[in-house]
Structure 1
Amino acid sequence: MAWDEGLAQVLRDDLADLPIREQKMFGGLCFLMNGNMLCGIHKGGTMFRVGKPNMAAALAVPGAGPMTFTGKPMGGIIEFSLEATADDARRGTVLALALGFVKTLPAK
């Protein structure tokens, strides 16, 4: 498995009351809401789709950085360290930003 299953369970618990579907993507596990990627976990950490309007707030959270999965920054998506993801307060902050953004997207 290319990701930490315990950390995946933490995200599952955080998202338990929401209409979330899991899908293996990008060598990891993504969590989708209404068909839109919300967050995901991979070997090196997690990622959250916070949207471009929330990037500055998300990047201000310790442990967050721009997602450079393709070698260049991906707009609206942050990379989150394993240490930061394990911290309930920091994870909760970026998850709230991601949920706020993804809820505005049309269902797929």
Structure 2
Amino acid sequence: MPYDPVLADRLRDLLDDEPGLTTRAMFGGLGFMIGGHMAVAASSGGGLMVRCDPEQAVALCVPGSHAAPMVMRGRAMPGWLLVDAAGLVSDEDLGSWVEVGVAFVATLPPKS
């Protein structure tokens, strides 16, 4: 299943002013890169992939957040969360998750 184009448009609206923003299609989803690092992605399975500090990932997956640690092909992906579409209904909820991803990649050196 391809990514949700409405979610991708909402992400573009939130991230449009970020310096160094690029997008990249990958694995059926659409990644939003800042400084060469993916901050968030509209997932091919629906929902949002969010980059985060691996040490904070479990704490971000509180009940009601609709977030879970990311698992891809049976392998845990430290530093990544998958937020179900139900946790992205409001612009405030989506914006909060985008802030997590943007804040984390801001701590990383830019890729050349």
Give yes or no for TM over 0.5: yes
* Bigger helix share: 1
Q: Deviations over 1:55-96 (max 9, x none)?
A: 134212611011112312200100011121222232222222
Whether the aligned pair in 1 keeps the contact of 2:33 and 2:39 (CA below 8 Å) is yes
Which residues of 2 match residues 61-76 of structure 1 at below 5 A?
A: 62-76=65-79
Q: Deviations over 1:29-59 (max 9, x none)?
A: 0000000010101232110001213313421
**Superposition misfits of 4+ residues, deviation over 4 angstroms:** none
Whether the aligned pair in 1 keeps the contact of 2:52 and 2:80 (CA below 8 Å) is yes
For 1:47, which of 31, 46, 49 is the aligned residue? 49
TM-score (norm 2): 0.86
Whether the aligned pair in 1 keeps the contact of 2:58 and 2:69 (CA below 8 Å) is no
- 5+ residue gaps, structure 1, are none
Offset of residue 98 of structure 1: 1.5
Q: Which stretch of the first structure deviates more once superposed, 92-101 or 77-86?
A: 92-101
TM-score (norm 1): 0.89
**Number of corresponding residues:** 108
